Amino acid sequence: MNPLRTLSLALGAAFVALVAAVPAQADLTAKFQGAVSQILAQPYQAQYVPLGYDSAFPYGGVLNTFPVQDYTSGSKAGNPDAPPWPIGFELVSFTSLDGAPLKGHIARQPGNHPGVVVVHGFNSNGRDSAVRWAAMLARNGYNVLAFDLRGFPPEYRAGGNQPLPNPQTLGWKEAEDVVAAGRFLKAQAGVTSVGVVGWSFGGQETVLALGLEGLLPETSRVFQAGLNFSGPADQNSQIYSTAVPMGCQTPLCTFPVTGALLILVVPPSDTTNPCTVLTRAQTRYGVDPYTIMSRTDGFQKQTVVKVPLLNVYANDDPLVAPFQATMMAGYNAGKPLQRTLLLNEGLHAYYNDRWWQSKATLLYFKALLPGASVDGTITTEPTVNQTAGGAPVGEQLADLRTPTRAAADALAAPFVCDTTRPSPAFASMP
């Protein structure tokens, strides 16, 4: 074939592909903006009162509860507040990208339908804290996988609380676990597309996992939409925000709030020092603490995310301060498929109004997961009661103004293990 003709055909094909991509991107942007508008129009009742039963559990008898119980008594198997996994969920095992063993509960729907991975927070009860959300999504027609991130499985508590062979890394390796979970779900028969939603630490991992996939060719990605509730924008800055005294310099820093969580959640539960946790991770994975923390800055890694991403925070959050929302919003600028919302009232991760948060999640994935909008079995009905009197959530947002990347970077804290070093986030800026 004539070389000039070959070149002409190749350029023509590339032009056709480019032209086709433009309306496809515009259509996706319109869907994302439409979904956000729908979410903002829904009533939000900060004084939500849980009544009756949660219909996500078809056998009945599971009372609706206050959302805060999802990471307290409601996540402890055997507690009267904790629902059992619904009929239709089964225990499964798979491996992370580095071979670390993972376990979860999966619900498979008959036929061909979208799926959602749900990612738990920094909770010693792992996937049990997400059971109501997994059940709610399954009840609305989705294939669902809820799994334990590495270092979180309940087996360690029954086994004498010994160190695990694949310890936690405060965000780095756990993001790989989320990608592996997405691939596992997508490989199931009948799963047509996959989204991911996470709360708190799971929200951070949602963003980081989407960032990892953003570095891959499109054909290698699995997630097609992400939803983050109260995920730390930067784990290093999150830890430093709990330092005592405020603005301290090492070695005079202590981390009582973070330390209390470490004792509760991170086996072998013998340290309140996050740097000890990172050093143990270095021993296992061969990566130093500074580099590990440089891989947990979701606010910057948003820049490589290729799919719709909605971040939601609360201005009265006692654990993840609202400055984290400002960091996320600063890097949303110029990204038509990204948005950060800051509720006036909501507390942490599982917000005051369980009905609204369920509705928002269902509207989001119905609009943005390929195939969901035309799938008659995919519904958008919360499985809990609604409390009357709430104004549209769009009228109950704190003003994030117009934060910039520079403003977000200014909020990044020095390295928690050595405050003479700059923020690890700057070591991996896109």
pLDDT at 158: 53
Q: At 165, is the secondary structure helix, strand, or coil?
A: coil
Contact of 353 with 370, CB cutoff 8 Å: no
Buried b (16+ CB within 10 A) or exposed e, 359-389: bbbbbbbbbbbeebeebeebebebbbbbbee
CATH 3.40.50.970 fits 24-428, yes or no: no
pLDDT at 4: 52
Spatial distance between the Cα atoms of 299 and 171, rounded to a whole number of angstroms: 13
With CA atoms as reference, report the closest residue to 198 among 272, 105, 122, 264: 122
Q: Which residue has the tokens 């996992």?
A: 209
Residue 1: how many CA atoms within 13 Å on its side-chain side? Answer: 8
Spatial distance between the Cα atoms of 205 and 119, rounded to a whole number of angstroms: 8
* Encoded tokens for 182: 């997405």
* Encoded tokens for 324: 């984290």
Spatial distance between the Cα atoms of 100 and 167, rounded to a whole number of angstroms: 10
What is the per-residue DSSP string for 314-338? ETT-SSS-THHHHHHHHTTTT-TTE
With CA atoms as reference, report the closest residue to 375 among 145, 140, 144, 108: 140
Could you tell me how many helices (H) and strands (E) the chain has, helices first?
13, 10
State CA 16 to chain mean position distance: 36
Contact of 311 with 282, CB cutoff 8 Å: no
Peptide bond preceding 251 in cis form (omega within 30 of 0): yes
Amino acid (1-letter code) at residue 420: T
Q: What is the pLDDT along the chain (430 residues), one digit of tens a residue?
A: 565 565 555 545 554 444 445 568 899 999 999 999 999 999 999 999 999 999 999 887 899 999 999 988 888 888 888 999 999 999 999 999 999 999 999 999 999 999 999 999 998 888 899 999 999 999 999 999 999 999 886 665 555 566 678 999 999 999 999 999 999 999 999 999 999 999 999 999 999 999 999 999 999 999 999 999 999 999 999 999 999 999 999 999 999 999 999 998 888 888 999 999 999 999 999 999 999 999 999 999 999 999 999 999 999 999 999 999 999 999 998 899 999 999 999 999 999 999 999 999 999 999 999 999 999 999 999 999 999 999 999 999 999 988 899 999 999 999 999 999 999 999 865 5
The model carries a pTM of 0.93
